[in-house]
Amino acid sequence: MAVPKRLIALLVGVPLALTACSSGDDEPAASGGGSGDADLSFAVVTHGSAGDAFWDVVKNGADQAGEDLGVSVDYQSDGDPGRQSQLIDSAVNQDVDGIVVSMANPDALRESVEAAVAAGIPVVTINSGAAQSVEYGAIGHVGQDETIAGQGAGERLRSEGATSVLCVVHEAGNIGLEQRCDGASTGLGAPVQTLQVDINDLAAAQTTITSQLQTGDVDAILTLNSSVAQVAAAAVGDAGSQATVATFDLNSDVISGIQDGTIGFAVDQQQYEQGYLPIVMLKLYAQNLNTVGGGQPVLTGPGIVDADNVDQIADLASSGTR
C-alpha cells in the first residue's frame, strides 16, 4: 500500500504553513532543538551499502527532503551492526535534532537507539525493525510490513500456478528478509525453500542458484533484492529452467527484466519515501511536537510492478526516485 498523495502533501505542507504564519523575527512554535529551520540537523544511519541501488534511492529521498525543507541531512550507512551502532552514537554526541535509523538487526542496535531517545533526540525507524520501533522509543516507523508484503508475493505466485518456490536470502540475520520468506509461505499456502547467498558476491550467488535449480524441483524464485534478481534470471537460463523469477525492489535491470519477460514482477516498497518522509516527520516534531502514525507504521508498500505498469515506472526509476 503506497502512502496516499494527500498524506505526503499534508506532511510537507504543515511545516511550510507554520513557517509562513511567523514573521522573520519569531521563534518556531515549538522545537525539539530550539532553533530555526536552517539550524535543524538530522542524521540518517542505515544498514545499506554505498552504491546499492535500493539504498541510493533512500538517500536521494532524504537528501531531497533536506533541500525542500531547508534542514541539514547527514546520511551514513554501514552493513555491520556494530559499526551502525557507532554511527548512531556519534550522531548523539553531535547533538543532532533527530535520527533516522534502519534496524535490520534490532537487538544489536537497541542500546544505541535507546541512548539517543534518553538523550532527548527523537528517532524515526525505517525499512526494518517495525516491531521494535515503539518499544525502543521511536516516534514513528516508515516502511512496509514485510510479512504482509511477502504474503502478497506468495499469493501472486500461487495465482500464476507456482507450487514450489525458492526464497533467496542475501543478508544473514536480517529479520525483515526472514519475514518476507515466512509471509511468502503463508501466501503460497505451502512452505517455501530458503537459500542463503552473499549479496557481496553476485557471481557466486548466481552459481548457487543455478545449482539449486538443477538439483531441486523449483518452479518459481523469489529474490529479496533487485541485484539478486538479475543473477537469478541469469541462473534460470544457465540451468535450462522454466522457473518464474519475481523479486522485491526495483532497479534498472529489474525494470528491463519485467519489460522483456525474464522477470515476472517486483514488489515495490517505494524506498524514496522511506528517505523523504522521516525527515518531514522529524521537522514536524522539532517545530510542533507532531507525531505521525499513532504508534502504527506509515506504510510505503507493498505495490506490484509488472508488465501492466512497468513502462510508467521506468522514467521515474531512471531519475533516481523509484
- Quick check: 95 and 307 in contact, CB under 8 A? no
Residue 92: inside a domain: yes
12 sits in which H/E element: helix 5-20
Residue 88: inside a domain: yes
pLDDT tens-digit readout, 179-194: 999 999 999 999 999 9
Together in a domain, 99 and 180: no
321 has pLDDT over 80: yes
Together in a domain, 28 and 84: yes
Look at the pTM and tell me if it is higher than 0.85.
no
User: What is the domain extent for residue 64?
Assistant: 5-144+270-291
Structure-block grid coordinates of residue 147: 510479512
Average pLDDT, the chain: 90
pLDDT tens-digit readout, 27-76: 443 434 444 566 999 999 999 877 888 899 999 999 999 999 999 999 99
Pick from 236, 268, 300: which residue ends a domain? 268
pLDDT score for 49: 75
Residue 322: inside a domain: no
Together in a domain, 112 and 150: no
Together in a domain, 52 and 28: yes
Residue with cell 522545537: 31
Together in a domain, 75 and 130: yes
Together in a domain, 86 and 166: no
Together in a domain, 87 and 194: no
pLDDT score for 36: 55
Domain count, the chain: 2
Together in a domain, 14 and 117: yes
Q: What is the CATH number of the domain that holds 203?
A: 3.40.50.2300
pLDDT tens-digit readout, 75-100: 999 999 999 999 999 999 999 999 99
Residue 137: inside a domain: yes
Residue 319: inside a domain: no
Taking CA atoms, 259 is separated from 188, 264, 265, 304, in Å, by 25, 9, 10, 14
pLDDT tens-digit readout, 251-277: 999 999 999 999 999 999 999 999 999
Residue 80: inside a domain: yes
